[in-house]
Amino acid sequence: MSILYDERVDGVLPTVDKAALLDELRTRLPDLDVLHTQEDLTPYECDGLSAYRTAPMLVVLPERIEQVETLLKICHQRGVPVVARGAGTGLSGGALPLEKGILLVMARFNKILEIDPAGRFARVQPGVRNLAISQAAAPFDLYYAPDPSSQIACSIGGNVAENAGGVHCLKYGLTVHNLLKVEILTACGERMTLGSDALDSPGFDLLALFTGSEGMLGIVTEVTVKLLPKPQVAKVLLASFDSVEKAGRAVGDIIAAGIIPGGLEMMDNLAIRAAEDFIHAGYPVEAEAILLCELDGVEADVADDCERVREVLAKAGATEVRLARDEAERVKFWAGRKNAFPAVGRISPDYYCMDGTIPRRELPGVLKGIAALSEEYGLRVANVFHAGDGNMHPLILFDANQPGELERAEAVGGKILELCVKVGGSITGEHGVGREKINQMCSQFNSDEITLFHAVKAAFDPAGLLNPGKNIPTLHRCAEFGAMHVHHGQLPFPDLERF
C-alpha cells in the first residue's frame, strides 16, 4: 500500500486556485521567494525518506517571521494546506509535500539570536542546525545535548517537530527535555509562546504537547534550548559477545549496577561487518554482537565507572572488553557506529531503516522475530540498537530495481513495528510517524485513542490545514488497513512464542 496521500482514505483536500493564490502572494508578499515551476519544485519532492515523492503546488522560502504570519493568514482564508519543512532530513516523510499544498521551507531562518552562558540557554531561529548550537556554545564550555545522527544538517525547528533523539537520550533526554520555550504561529497565523524562560509556565504544558507534533499543531518560529556544561571526559568500552542475547542481558546488568552510561549502543554481526569494511574501526568481525558503552562526566567518577562496567561485562560473558586507549580510538569506535547506515548502504543497493522501541527485556525475542521475518521474506536485516533506551533501528536490505523488493521491504518493516507494539513498545522512538508509519498507528492505538488525537488537532487547527495526512491516520484509513489484515486470514506472527 503506497503511503502517498490518498484522498479516498486520508480525506478530501480543498481544491486551490493556484493562479489566484500566486497573485495574492505576489501582491501581499512581494519580497517572498516563491517557487512554482516544475524544475524548481523537483528538489523539494521528498525529505530524508526519499523513496516517496510528491511535487508540492508551491514552495515558499520566507526570511522574516512576518512573511510566515501573513502567509498562514492567506492560507487559512483560502483553505490552502501547508506542510512545514526544516532541513528536510526527516526519515518518516513528515515533510513529504502535498500536490494541493504549499511547502513552507523554514531553512533560511538560520540565525543564532542569543547565547547566555550564565542563564545556560540559547535562543535560536528554527532553521539553525542542531550542531551549530553546540558549536556556538563551545567557547563557554557548554553544549546542546540531543544529538540525532543527522545533527550536522538537521534543523532545530525540525528537531522540535519530531522530538528528535540521538545516542545520548538515556542520560540526557530527548528534545522535549532540553527545551525552555518555543515561539509558534498557529494555523490561522497567530503568534503564541509556549513554555517560558523559567522552568515551567502557567496553564497546560503545551510545550510538551507541541514537541513531536510533526507540524500538525503550529509552525515553530523560535526556539530557546537549555545548554549543559560539557562533560570533563568521555571514555568508551567496546565489548564483544558470541550471542545477541548475552549482549542484551549485559545492558540490563550495567543498569542494575546503578550506572547510567552517556551512550549504550549495540550492533549485530551483519552491521559490525558492514561498518568494519567501511570505517576500519577495529571492530571484531567474528562477534555476534558488540556493545559500545560510553561513560562521561567528572574524571574520577568516569574512571571508577569504567572499572565497574568492565567487571559487569566480563561477568555477563563478554568474550573481549576493550577500553579506547585515547581520544582517537574513542572517535574511531563511534565512527563505526555513526556510519552504520551508510556502511550498510555499501553492501546493499537500498536499505530501509526502522525505528521501533521495545522494553529492553524483550530484545532476544524481538530479534528472533526479526530473523524469522528476514528468512520468510528473503531479505537481510542488519540490527543497530540504542540499547540503553530500547530504540531499535533494524535496516532492511533490498534492491529497488528488483520488482517487488521495495514492497517486501515495506511489509517486513510493518511487521517488525507490529511486533514492537505487541511486546509493549512503540512504532517510533525518534523518527516520527510522518507518512511512513501512518498505517502502523492503527496497530498501536485503537479508534477511540485516534479519535482523541483528532480532538487535540481540532483544538488548534480545526480546518486541518497544517500537514494533513501525517502523524494521525483517519479512522477510514485504519478501517481499510485493518481489513487488509483480515484478508490475509491470520493474525501477525501466529507461530511466535510469547516473550
x/- map, 183-222, another protein, by CB under 8 A = ---x---x-xx--xxxxxxxxxxx-xx-xxx--xx-----
Q: Is 301 in the site for another protein (CB under 8 A)?
A: yes
User: C-beta of 362: minimal distance to another protein in Å?
Assistant: 10
Cβ-based neighbours of 430, under 8 Å, separated by 6 or more: 148, 162, 163, 164, 165, 166, 169, 174, 355, 391
Instruction: Specify the residue, 209 or 335, whose C-beta has the smaller distance to another protein.
Output: 209
Which of 89, 151, 467, 471 forms a contact with another protein (CB under 8 A)? 471
Which region, judged by CB under 8 A, interacts with another protein, from 30-38, 71-79, 83-91, 457-465?
A: 457-465
Pick from 433, 442, 465, 478 the residue near another protein by CB under 8 A. 433
Rounded to the nearest whole angstrom, what is the least distance from the CB of residue 284 to another protein in the complex? 26
Instruction: Decide whether 9 or 176 has the Cβ nearer to another protein.
Output: 176
Q: Is 120 helix (H, G, I), strand (E, B) or coil?
A: coil
Site for another protein in 356-415 (CB under 8 A): 357-361, 386, 388-391
The region, left, alpha or beta by phi > 0 then psi within -120 to 50, assigned to residue 297 is left
Q: Answer yes or no whether residue 456 interacts with another protein by CB under 8 A.
A: yes
- Find the binding residues for another protein in span 17-56 (CB under 8 A): none
How many whole angstroms separate alpha carbon 107 and alpha carbon 93? 17
Q: Which residue has the cell 530527548?
A: 174
Q: Which three cell numbers stand for residue 296?
A: 562521561
Site string for another protein, 314-343 (x = CB under 8 A): ------------------------------
Instruction: Based on DSSP, count helices (H) and strands (E) in the chain, helices before strands.
Output: 18, 18
Tell me the β-bridge partners of 400: none
Residues 50 to 89: which contact another protein by CB under 8 A? none
**Cell numbers that stand for 146 in this block:** 540531543
Site for another protein in 407-426 (CB under 8 A): 424-426
Tell the smallest beta-carbon distance from residue 49 to another protein (Å). 15
CB of 224 to another protein, least distance (A): 10
Nearer to another protein, 19 or 455 (CB): 455
Task: Tell me the closest approach of the beta carbon of residue 82 to another protein, in angstroms.
Answer: 18
Hey, what's the cell of 422? 505487541
Binding mask 145-184 for another protein (x = CB under 8 A): -----------------xx-x---xx--xx-xx-------
Strand order in the sheet with 102-105: 33-35, 58-61, 102-105, 82-85
Cα 150 from Cα 383, distance rounded (Å): 19
Nearest to 373 by CA among 444, 337, 422: 422
Rounded-to-10 torsion of CA 209, 213, 219, 222: 60
- Asked whether the beta carbons of 410 and 352 are under 8 A apart, the reply is yes
Is residue 260 a contact residue for another protein (CB under 8 A)?
Answer: yes
